[in-house]
Amino acid sequence: MKHISAQNTVNELLQMAGITINGKEPYDIQVNNNKLYSLVLREGEMGLGNSYVEGWWDCAHLDEFFCRVMSARLHEKITSDKKLLLKMLLGKLINFQSKKRAWIVGEKHYDLGDTLYSLMLESNMVYTCAYWKNASNLEEAQQAKLDLICKKLQLKPGMRLLDIGCGWGSLAKYAAENYGVSVVGATISRKQYEHAKQNYKGLPIDIRLQDYRDLEGQFDRVSAIGLMEHVGHSNYRTLMQVVNRCLTDDGIFVLHTIGNGGVAVPPDPWMSKYIFPNFMLPSIPLIGKAAEGLFIMEDWHNFGADYDKTLVAWQRNFEKHWPTLKSHYDEHFFRRWNYYLLSCAGSFRARYIQLWQVVFSKKGIKGGYQAPR
């Protein structure tokens, strides 16, 4: 009877999103194990993710399933278990992104192997949202994004650029080759550090395996592309202080980050445990408070809908190259990464989460800032 009651409750919730259990639409779920219902009601997002990885349910179009779920805010209608709620509370009290713990995401996610990322991403291994305005494929969209950042930074030959959270060095390479600047890049991923050091010899690029809090020096421009998601609410002010310290008085800072519309929306517990350890999404008020008294906000650009297309492109590459990748990873990894990429695509499609590029200056740009789009 408990199973039937749980199934009825889940069915009622899914109907709010237009989803039918074992239905015929590509976004309907196909249930392979009836234990799914009570698990989801008990553990919420954690239960939904784990049960998919274990093969308890399938869906032909996971991205559209999650778009409907997030649009209907079904995740807010299911109460997670007490352990998860306690962890969310602790996240507000404990600095899970301290200098000691900051390296965990590098080890657990970015150090998974260059083979995975080289096949899933494009030629420059850009692992942040692409810019699809005038692009027809992922390669063009990522080149457009890199150029957009360079234009927003107003780079000129001879300038020094600090790229905090530089990834595999794609922006550093693009800026050095196309805008004639020298670049210092910092990452907490050993694999990213080794890749950049090996591949960008001969360019005026200095890649450092270093936490952002230890950065020193003066730079004409600073960028932080896909970094703030890993910084944590407790450290936003510290990040802004580091950038302020390193940026010349007439410099420009571009912040590129995923964000949410709520002030204190807790992170998805499944994503935090299995994909991005200790991640937290910033909000508009939190970014504003962190920058208060340090910077003037010159421009705020939201192109979160482009992340939907980017994630779908990554997922297609991942699936296409799985015959090569499966010698390195198991079936659980395959389902876990499909779930990660497509659930995020659906969340961006529903406009539940956003992608922001924010331009800051220290004292305001004389005559005003003309933002490229």
Could you list the active site residues? 344
What are the structure tokens assigned to 237, written together? 């002010």
Maximum C-alpha span of the chain: 72
Q: Which residues contact 254 (CB under 8 A, 6 or more apart)?
A: 149, 152, 153, 221, 222, 223, 224, 225, 357, 358, 359, 360
Q: Which residues contact 168 (CB under 8 A, 6 or more apart)?
A: 117, 124, 125, 126, 127, 192, 195, 196
The amino acid that residue 54 corresponds to is E
Convert 317-329 into a string of H (helix), E (strand) and C (coil): HHHHCHHHHCCCC
Q: Which long-range contacts (CB under 8 A, 24 or more apart) does 86-95 make?
A: 87/269, 88/266, 88/267, 88/269, 91/233, 91/266, 91/267, 91/280, 92/233, 92/264, 95/232, 95/234, 95/235
Cα–Cα dist 52/334, whole Å? 11
Cα–Cα dist 192/174, whole Å? 16
Q: Where are the beta strands (DSSP E) in the chain?
A: 29-31, 57-59, 160-164, 182-187, 205-209, 219-225, 247-260, 296-302, 353-361
- From residue 340, alpha-carbon distances to 8, 48, 136, 370 in Å are 27, 12, 24, 36
